[in-house]
Amino acid sequence: MSPQPFYACGHSGRELQRLEDQGAYFRGITRSFLQTAGITRGMQVLDIGCGTGDVTFLLAELVGPTGSVLGIDRAPEAIAAAAAHATSRGIDHVAFELGEVERLAPRPMDAVVGRFVLMHQASPARTLRAAAASAVRGGLLAVLESDISASVARVHSRPHSPTYDRINVWLAKVINAAGTHPDMGLRLRQTFVDAGLPPPTLWLQARVEGGRDAEIYHYISESIRSMLPTAERLGIAPLSPVDLDELERQLRDEVIASGGVLTSPLVVGAWCRLPQRSAHDDPLEAMK
């Protein structure tokens, strides 16, 4: 593992496009989670690790023009892309800032939200606690994380797909070597507890697809493509001698031939409310 975690997918132009595609791929799951967790109209929301703004814009729809959403990310390329999207769409109740969660000055937000963020942190519990400092007393803290390590035989495909099995093993290996956490989803409850937060309500979903037009083939191949430079730098052998377009076709043909289905990486949601008795200037006082 890398001594200092880093984002295994990089920040190339193609990766920024992959982030937007990923947002579209998980949009239904994310919307359902946010509504279930309690995001409603008029709320002031902080979106940590916002990337190109997919979750930020979804939050903007849910809170409406009487609410507002602030997205922060440590990658200037992502923030620039998100701000450009906001301008082109004419959305004026969102804003974006360059910054890191653990260095963010606390601000009184009704909710703090993050998707696929904690898995890239050296100390997910420390990052989560820092994020919670921006929620008002009684405020909502809600995060979504994938669990690639749970994508194993008898779970990720039916009938068993050998190609998809190799892909999932490789993805988890690269993410782990980058110092990040491929098993973050099912670690969320303990992470909340370790952060001194109330035990969260937990929620689990995944997409299940089959057939020729399933979106998962392209989503997975683009994820591999973004990780290839990191894999090469860390000395991890390429997944396959064939190019990625051929690998995508191979996966599709294998699933179609078997009449099977694939599951996306499992997506685990966790949310809690901060104690009402916290002091306004220190929303975590009650958890010390």
d(CA 134, CA 201): 20
CATH number for the segment(s) 13-276: 3.40.50.150
Residue 143, token pair as written in the block: 């995060």
- Three-point CA angle 105, 109, 113, nearest 5°: 95
For the chain, 288 residues long, give each residue's pLDDT as a single digit of tens: 445 676 767 777 788 888 888 989 999 999 999 999 999 999 999 999 999 999 999 999 999 999 999 999 999 999 999 999 999 999 999 999 999 998 888 889 999 999 999 999 989 999 999 999 999 989 999 999 999 999 998 899 999 999 999 999 999 999 989 888 999 999 999 999 999 999 999 999 999 999 999 999 999 999 998 888 888 888 998 877 668 889 999 999 999 999 999 999 999 999 999 987 544 445 455 444
Pair 14, 225: CB distance under 8 Å: yes
Residue 222, token pair as written in the block: 């683009």
d(CA 236, CA 219): 21
d(CA 179, CA 204): 24
